[in-house]
Amino acid sequence: MPKSSTSSRLAVRKTYKLYVAGKFPRSESGRTYLVDGDNVALASRKDARDAVVAARAAQPKWAGATAYNRGQVLYRIAEMLEARRGEFKALGVAGSEVDAAVDRWVWYAGWSDKIAQIAGGANPVAGPFFNISAPEPTGVVGVIAPETLLGLVSVIAPAVVTGNTVVVVASNPQAAITLAEVLATSDVPGGVVNVLTGRAAEIAPWLASHDDVNALDLSGVGDSELATELERAAAGTLKRVVRPVSGVDYSEDPGTGAMTALLEIKTVWHPKGF
């Protein structure tokens, strides 16, 4: 029998594709670019529009799920991320950062059924009425993500735990798409998280001006001029814009601000019974 030769085998090279509607399509433009020798899909404005359509379609059902159920899904993400720890380390992510990212998912999972208690409540009014303020998700959020894995998790988790869906523009494509592979096996409904890889300066303006995007998170925009341009574009459709101060340390306690920034407060009046 002929001897097998492992030295002549060609390894299967991975192409890091987009993550839209729970699937991993290539860019509709067919474009790719190289990152550390890996082929990565270069998203276009059409891909951004497709991702918004997927996020909008998924949002009502995700927001309608119980807070307890959303917390379970986030905890499942933490489990799967823990199981694939070695893959992220192979991409150059420090083990301590992977651990922190796992813990961050668990932390936000615990807030899923508690955030309404601190963001809403019964208001005192003069009259025979109940006046109740209840938080609701903003809707579809465009996210320009930070480069680190922990930063990426720290902007996705607070948005989705409260019932929003997201379209993420990732600046670290290998880690972002590997995280998308974790999401795809973690009971996250398709369309809740969509990940686009490419140039933020090319994709973000289309998200900022899109009529069906309700909020914009600029956490990963380091160029102040680009951030200002995106804010102006978002003003045309009255989007809520989150623009953190530069130099955010994602290893610190995140607090509840990232969650409440993407919530709307609905106030309901109801007569008291006699």
pLDDT at position 70: 97
pLDDT tens across 105-115, in order? Answer: 999 999 999 99
pLDDT at 5: 52
SS3 (DSSP) at 270: strand
Q: Give residue 82's pLDDT band: very low, low, confident or very high (50, 70, 90).
A: very high
Single pTM value for the model: 0.91
The distance of Cα 61 from the centroid of its chain, to the nearest Å, equals 17
pLDDT band for position 13 (cuts 50, 70, 90):
confident
| CA dihedral (195, 196, 200, 202) positive or negative | negative
Concatenate the DSSP letters of all residues of 42-104 into one string. ---HHHHHHHHHHHHHHHHHHHHS-HHHHHHHHHHHHHHHHHTHHHHHHTT--HHHHHHHHHH
User: Does pLDDT of 216 surpass 60?
Assistant: yes
> Does residue 153 surpass a pLDDT of 80?
yes
Domains of the chain: 16-271 (3.40.605.10)
The residue-averaged pLDDT of 58-80 equals 97
